[in-house]
Chains A and B, each alone.
Chain A
């Protein structure tokens, strides 16, 4: 009669223990803009969309961000990039996403680099790296290239980019 509850409790404990076990896995993600200080800001500086005499020429600006990722789980992990919104000025002007490309430099491990070649940034989240099966620590150097569209309206443009690391 009493055996049924005992089994239920035992199963619950085993299930909870199994559920809790992956929680031991800790991942570490450190983001460092290569150009700039310690703050989490990537400043592309001041660029031109017209020449000083109005010529149809524009600048290309490159910046890099370094991600250090590691996990203590000995299991694979994924790294995602999320572009949280378009590049907007306070008065609503926008730099088209097609003007911004990014790529990830060659990695040290056998993980899968999803963007070895420049690709346009796109809104939303996308996987940019999948570690090797052992979840070896990696350093990802992401290069962002903004080719300012000719005649782009003057102003200050901002966006936010999130990096998310998930153990599997």
Chain B
């Protein structure tokens, strides 16, 4: 009889403990908070070109006894856009009867030349280089004058290099 009463009390205590404990468990000394971290990286895309010697590109003098010289320009593209781009070139000022030839090297960062053998410059824009990864790159453009005989005189041209982001 007495044992039965004690048993009931024990049952009640155990029941209360069982009911109470799970309810308190989440507060059993843990807490968590989550924070979002974010950063924006600014896009940059620039193209710079310069002759290796600095200033204008001088391809002369040219004569019957003097073989044409070639000169190089360096084109540097700085890009963090990740967007493929291409570089175009055209004559902005026609040199008249003189024909300027050019060729382009591959880039140092995976860009591809589109004009690898000497080709005449034209007034129409021509794609000369592309980089599908959209990252910074650098390449050379070699210019020379066609060895065809030209009337004596001074010939000038202006070349425009343009970029196109895709």
Contact = CB atoms under 8 A, between A and B. Distances in A.
B42 to A, nearest CB: 5
Contacts of A144: 37
A50 B4 CA distance: 83
Interface size class of B (residues with CB under 8 A): 35 or more
B80 A95 contact: no
Interface residues of A, number: 69
Interface stretch (B5-13, B112-120, B147-155): B5-13
Interface string B1-24: 001101100110110011011001
B51 to A, nearest CB: 19
A26 B41 contact: no
A16 B37 contact: no
Nearest to A23: B24
B21 A28 contact: no
B80 A50 contact: yes
Interface stretch (A3-11, A103-111, A112-120): A3-11
A164 B13 CA distance: 33
Given A42-B38, A154-B44, A54 B78 contact: yes
Contacts of B41: 46-49, 148, 152-157
A155 B2 CA distance: 77
